[in-house]
Structure 1
Amino acid sequence: MATTFAVNTHRFDPYKNFKFRVKWDGHYIAGVSKVSSLKRTTEVVEHREGGDPSTSRKSPGRSKYEAITLERGVTHDPDFEKWANKVWNFDSGLGAEVSLKDFRKDLIIEVYNEAGQIAMAYKVYRAWVSEFQAIPDLDANANAIAIQSIKLENEGWERDYDVVEPAEPTFTEPA
């Protein structure tokens, strides 16, 4: 099955890496300032035919998807912590630290063009929090934002080809 893409023939510049949003459970997550790269690695399986002693052949093996890290400034928004607590919750009591019911989530990472139009999106499947940093090192001599982060293990991602490249808008000057 062939996939066709709508192409904006007027766009020359690549998209910037600072216009994006992250969504899960049907809503955008506030304040996400950094998303690590989406990376997939496929193992190489080498094999050799018995009658060909000098040449190895290569074919694809298992694919694995690297964890994704999301960072944002510390606020009162509990979304990161609530999700992390589904994997392990201190107050849940012995033998009930993990909730297997809904600790996995699908999420969407959207990339926008300079005009604020969604240009592409990626769907991440069956992600769960393997690491949660509630607050960073605190330093009274620093001049920085307090950043919290979650590390998401996932079972794969794919580009959402239903999101097509938008036509660049034309802005007119006020009269």
Structure 2
Amino acid sequence: MAQFAVNTHRLDPYKNFKFRVRWDNEYVAGLSKMSAIKRTTETIEWREAGGPSVIRKMPGRTKFEPVTFEAGVTHDPQLMAWADLVNNPRGDAAMSLKNYRKEVTVEVLNMQATPVMGFILHRAWVSEFQALPEMDANANAVAISTLKIEYEGFTLAARPAEPAET
């Protein structure tokens, strides 16, 4: 049974290490890792007093888990610039009430780095920013910045046609 319409020979799913993220029409430099895009709907249990002793279940509030991006420290100020829109070190008056929320697009790429699907995180804003990790002169690692965002829902982006694999 083929899972792909164009590449009927393909049975394996896409890899989790080929992706890219953008906001303000700019891709994030040095991005190496992101947490899952996830929503959870609470369950409301309900039972009618005179009815059968059966607990009924219905959907309640839906919440969206924050997403954390990890990027190697570079000269690109993109992560800090967004974090400063929410909580500016120059004080409350420097906060941007207009621009601190963004539409964030996460693109899944195939092994040829061609976008195959994407998700848009709506009304995202920075809730946590780590400019530098703990530094260690004895370590052998890349310095990583982290950006944690909150968002109010996600949708599937306009899906490109399945690219033919060569």
TM-score of the superposed pair, with normalisation by structure 2: 0.91
Aligned alpha-carbon RMSD (Å):
1.7
Q: Work out which of the residue numbers 102, 111, 115 in structure 2 matches 1:114.
A: 111
Matches within 5 A, 1:35-54: 35-54=34-53
Q: Which amino acid in the other structure matches residue 169 of structure 1? A: E
Compute the displacement of 1:7 (Å). 6.1
For residue 8 of structure 1, report the CA deviation from its aligned partner. 4.2
The one-letter code of the counterpart of 1:118 is P
Structure-1 residue corresponding to 2:164: 168
**Which amino acid is the alignment partner of residue 33 of structure 2?**
K
Question: Is the 1:111–1:120 contact (alpha carbons within 8 Å) kept by the matching residues of 2?
Answer: yes
**Alpha-carbon distance, 1:6 to partner:** 5.6
Alignment of 1:42-121 (within 5 A): 42-92=41-91, 95-96=92-93, 98-121=95-118
- The answer to whether structure 1 residue 149 and structure 2 residue 146 are counterparts is yes
One-letter identity of the residue aligned with 1:15 = Y
Give the AA of the match of 1:109.
V
Shift of 1:117: 1.5
SS of the equivalent of 1:86 reads helix
CA distance in 2, matches of 1:49, 1:164: 48
Listed as ranges, the gaps of 5+ residues in structure 1 are: 171-175
* Residue 53 (structure 1) shift: 4.4
Report the CA distance between 1:105 and its aligned residue: 0.3
What is aligned with 1:15? 14
Aligned residues: percent identity?
A: 54
Rate the CA distance shift 1:7–1:41 in 2: closer, same or farther, 3 A.
farther
Distance 1:154 1:6 in 2: 33
Whether contact under 8 Å (2:66, 2:148) holds in the other structure is: yes
Q: Which runs of 5+ in 2 are unaligned?
A: none
Question: What is the CA–CA distance in structure 2 between the aligned matches of 1:12 and 1:134, rounded to whole Å?
Answer: 41
Q: Whole-Å Cα distance in 1 between the matches of residues 46 and 99 of structure 2?
A: 41
- TM (normalized to structure 1)? 0.87
Shift of 1:102: 0.8
Contact 1:21 1:32 in 2 (8 A): yes
